[in-house]
Amino acid sequence: MSDGLLVLFDAIAVLIMVFCLYFPRHGRKEMIVALFAINIGVLGVSFTLADAAVSAGLGLGLFGVLSIIRLRSNELGQQEIAYYFCSLALGLVGGVNVDSWISPILMGAILVAIFIGDHPNLFPASRHQIMRLDKAYTDEQELNTDLEEMLNGTIRRLQVKRVDLVNNSCVVDVRFTINDSSTESK
Protein backbone atom coordinates (compact mmCIF):
# COMPACT_ATOMS: atom_id res chain seq x y z
CA MET A 1 0.00 0.00 0.00
CA SER A 2 1.31 3.47 -0.81
CA ASP A 3 2.48 5.84 1.90
CA GLY A 4 0.02 8.48 0.73
CA LEU A 5 -2.90 6.09 1.14
CA LEU A 6 -1.72 5.18 4.65
CA VAL A 7 -1.57 8.88 5.59
CA LEU A 8 -5.11 9.31 4.20
CA PHE A 9 -6.40 6.35 6.23
CA ASP A 10 -4.68 7.70 9.34
CA ALA A 11 -6.19 11.16 8.80
CA ILE A 12 -9.67 9.71 8.35
CA ALA A 13 -9.28 7.48 11.41
CA VAL A 14 -8.05 10.27 13.71
CA LEU A 15 -10.78 12.64 12.46
CA ILE A 16 -13.44 10.02 13.22
CA MET A 17 -11.91 9.33 16.63
CA VAL A 18 -11.71 12.99 17.62
CA PHE A 19 -14.87 14.49 16.11
CA CYS A 20 -17.26 11.52 16.12
CA LEU A 21 -16.19 9.73 19.31
CA TYR A 22 -14.07 11.79 21.70
CA PHE A 23 -15.45 15.33 21.54
CA PRO A 24 -19.18 14.45 21.48
CA ARG A 25 -18.69 12.13 24.47
CA HIS A 26 -16.20 14.12 26.58
CA GLY A 27 -16.22 17.69 25.28
CA ARG A 28 -12.69 18.73 26.29
CA LYS A 29 -11.67 21.09 23.52
CA GLU A 30 -8.06 21.31 24.73
CA MET A 31 -7.61 17.58 24.13
CA ILE A 32 -8.38 17.93 20.40
CA VAL A 33 -5.06 19.57 19.64
CA ALA A 34 -3.21 17.05 21.81
CA LEU A 35 -4.82 14.10 20.04
CA PHE A 36 -4.07 15.52 16.58
CA ALA A 37 -0.54 16.61 17.46
CA ILE A 38 0.50 13.29 18.96
CA ASN A 39 -1.02 11.41 16.03
CA ILE A 40 0.80 13.49 13.42
CA GLY A 41 4.04 13.42 15.41
CA VAL A 42 4.02 9.65 15.83
CA LEU A 43 3.01 9.20 12.19
CA GLY A 44 6.03 11.24 11.10
CA VAL A 45 8.39 9.45 13.45
CA SER A 46 7.02 6.07 12.32
CA PHE A 47 7.65 6.91 8.66
CA THR A 48 11.15 8.09 9.53
CA LEU A 49 11.99 5.01 11.58
CA ALA A 50 10.50 2.70 8.94
CA ASP A 51 12.90 4.10 6.33
CA ALA A 52 15.93 4.34 8.62
CA ALA A 53 18.15 1.45 9.63
CA VAL A 54 17.16 1.45 13.30
CA SER A 55 15.73 -1.24 15.48
CA ALA A 56 12.08 -1.65 16.40
CA GLY A 57 13.16 -1.32 20.03
CA LEU A 58 14.16 2.29 19.46
CA GLY A 59 10.78 3.03 17.91
CA LEU A 60 8.89 1.40 20.76
CA GLY A 61 11.10 3.21 23.28
CA LEU A 62 10.24 6.52 21.64
CA PHE A 63 6.55 5.54 21.74
CA GLY A 64 6.85 4.94 25.49
CA VAL A 65 8.78 8.16 26.15
CA LEU A 66 6.21 10.23 24.28
CA SER A 67 3.44 8.61 26.31
CA ILE A 68 5.11 9.18 29.65
CA ILE A 69 5.95 12.81 28.94
CA ARG A 70 2.39 13.67 27.93
CA LEU A 71 0.67 11.66 30.64
CA ARG A 72 2.80 13.20 33.39
CA SER A 73 2.21 16.78 32.23
CA ASN A 74 -1.54 16.93 32.87
CA GLU A 75 -4.04 14.90 34.81
CA LEU A 76 -6.16 12.80 32.48
CA GLY A 77 -9.04 10.47 33.17
CA GLN A 78 -8.79 6.82 32.17
CA GLN A 79 -11.03 7.37 29.14
CA GLU A 80 -8.90 10.28 27.93
CA ILE A 81 -5.77 8.17 28.38
CA ALA A 82 -7.41 5.53 26.17
CA TYR A 83 -8.08 8.13 23.45
CA TYR A 84 -4.53 9.40 23.80
CA PHE A 85 -3.07 5.93 23.34
CA CYS A 86 -5.39 5.25 20.41
CA SER A 87 -4.15 8.44 18.77
CA LEU A 88 -0.58 7.23 19.33
CA ALA A 89 -1.41 3.78 17.98
CA LEU A 90 -3.15 5.17 14.89
CA GLY A 91 -0.07 7.24 14.07
CA LEU A 92 2.25 4.29 14.66
CA VAL A 93 0.15 1.89 12.58
CA GLY A 94 -0.25 4.48 9.83
CA GLY A 95 3.49 5.11 9.66
CA VAL A 96 4.53 1.50 9.20
CA ASN A 97 3.89 0.29 5.68
CA VAL A 98 3.14 -3.43 5.85
CA ASP A 99 1.83 -5.66 3.12
CA SER A 100 -1.80 -5.61 2.09
CA TRP A 101 -4.56 -3.92 4.07
CA ILE A 102 -3.30 -4.79 7.56
CA SER A 103 -2.72 -1.16 8.64
CA PRO A 104 -6.21 0.11 7.68
CA ILE A 105 -7.79 -2.98 9.27
CA LEU A 106 -5.86 -2.34 12.50
CA MET A 107 -6.92 1.33 12.41
CA GLY A 108 -10.53 0.23 12.03
CA ALA A 109 -10.13 -2.22 14.92
CA ILE A 110 -8.80 0.57 17.14
CA LEU A 111 -11.80 2.76 16.29
CA VAL A 112 -14.28 -0.08 16.86
CA ALA A 113 -12.67 -0.89 20.22
CA ILE A 114 -12.88 2.69 21.44
CA PHE A 115 -16.41 3.09 20.06
CA ILE A 116 -17.60 0.07 22.03
CA GLY A 117 -15.46 0.53 25.15
CA ASP A 118 -16.44 4.19 25.63
CA HIS A 119 -20.05 3.91 24.48
CA PRO A 120 -22.43 5.84 26.76
CA ASN A 121 -24.87 2.92 26.81
CA LEU A 122 -22.24 0.53 28.18
CA PHE A 123 -23.10 0.27 31.90
CA PRO A 124 -24.83 3.70 31.96
CA ALA A 125 -25.76 3.51 35.65
CA SER A 126 -22.23 2.68 36.81
CA ARG A 127 -20.39 5.46 38.67
CA HIS A 128 -17.12 6.11 40.48
CA GLN A 129 -16.43 8.86 43.00
CA ILE A 130 -13.85 9.79 45.58
CA MET A 131 -15.70 11.43 48.45
CA ARG A 132 -14.66 13.38 51.52
CA LEU A 133 -17.26 12.83 54.24
CA ASP A 134 -17.75 14.92 57.36
CA LYS A 135 -17.84 11.90 59.62
CA ALA A 136 -15.01 9.58 60.63
CA TYR A 137 -16.48 6.17 59.78
CA THR A 138 -14.79 3.25 61.47
CA ASP A 139 -17.61 0.78 60.76
CA GLU A 140 -17.54 -0.15 57.06
CA GLN A 141 -21.09 -1.51 57.09
CA GLU A 142 -22.43 1.78 58.48
CA LEU A 143 -20.41 3.65 55.85
CA ASN A 144 -21.81 1.39 53.12
CA THR A 145 -25.40 1.95 54.28
CA ASP A 146 -24.98 5.73 54.55
CA LEU A 147 -23.30 5.97 51.14
CA GLU A 148 -26.06 3.96 49.47
CA GLU A 149 -28.59 6.40 50.90
CA MET A 150 -26.51 9.49 49.95
CA LEU A 151 -25.83 8.29 46.43
CA ASN A 152 -29.18 6.62 45.76
CA GLY A 153 -27.28 3.58 44.57
CA THR A 154 -25.95 0.13 45.27
CA ILE A 155 -22.32 0.08 46.36
CA ARG A 156 -20.22 -2.29 44.24
CA ARG A 157 -16.83 -1.50 45.78
CA LEU A 158 -15.83 0.65 48.70
CA GLN A 159 -12.31 1.52 49.78
CA VAL A 160 -11.58 3.79 52.72
CA LYS A 161 -8.58 5.93 51.80
CA ARG A 162 -8.23 7.94 55.00
CA VAL A 163 -9.96 8.29 58.36
CA ASP A 164 -9.27 11.45 60.35
CA LEU A 165 -10.56 11.05 63.91
CA VAL A 166 -9.26 14.47 64.97
CA ASN A 167 -11.19 16.41 62.31
CA ASN A 168 -14.03 13.87 62.13
CA SER A 169 -13.79 13.10 58.42
CA CYS A 170 -12.88 10.35 56.01
CA VAL A 171 -12.06 9.94 52.34
CA VAL A 172 -13.52 7.00 50.45
CA ASP A 173 -13.23 5.67 46.92
CA VAL A 174 -16.63 4.30 45.97
CA ARG A 175 -17.91 2.51 42.89
CA PHE A 176 -21.65 2.18 42.68
CA THR A 177 -24.65 1.70 40.44
CA ILE A 178 -27.37 4.32 40.61
CA ASN A 179 -30.80 2.96 41.49
CA ASP A 180 -32.82 5.52 39.55
CA SER A 181 -32.55 4.33 35.93
CA SER A 182 -34.05 7.61 34.64
CA THR A 183 -30.95 9.56 35.79
CA GLU A 184 -28.81 10.67 32.87
CA SER A 185 -25.50 8.89 32.41
CA LYS A 186 -22.29 10.83 32.89
Write down the domain spans for the chain: 3-117, 126-178
- Tens-digit pLDDT profile for residues 128-172: 899 999 999 999 999 999 999 999 999 999 999 999 999 999 999
C-alpha distances out from residue 113 to 53, 83, 122, 145, 172, Å: 33, 11, 13, 36, 31
pLDDT higher than 60, residue 120:
yes
* Residue 95, C-beta contacts closer than 8 angstroms, at least 6 positions apart: 6, 10, 42, 43, 44, 45, 46, 47, 49, 50
User: What is the DSSP code string of 161-180?
Assistant: EEEETTTTEEEEEEEEEES-
Average pLDDT over residues 13-20: 94
* Residue 137, C-beta contacts closer than 8 angstroms, at least 6 positions apart: 143, 146, 160, 163, 170, 172
Average pLDDT over residues 165-183: 87
The pTM for the full model equals 0.68
The dihedral region occupied by 175, where left means phi > 0, alpha psi between -120 and 50, and beta the remainder, is: beta
C-alpha distances out from residue 157 to 19, 143, 183, Å: 34, 12, 21
Query: 53: pLDDT confidence band, cut at 50, 70 and 90?
Result: low
Cβ atoms of 147 and 155 within 8 Å: the answer is: yes
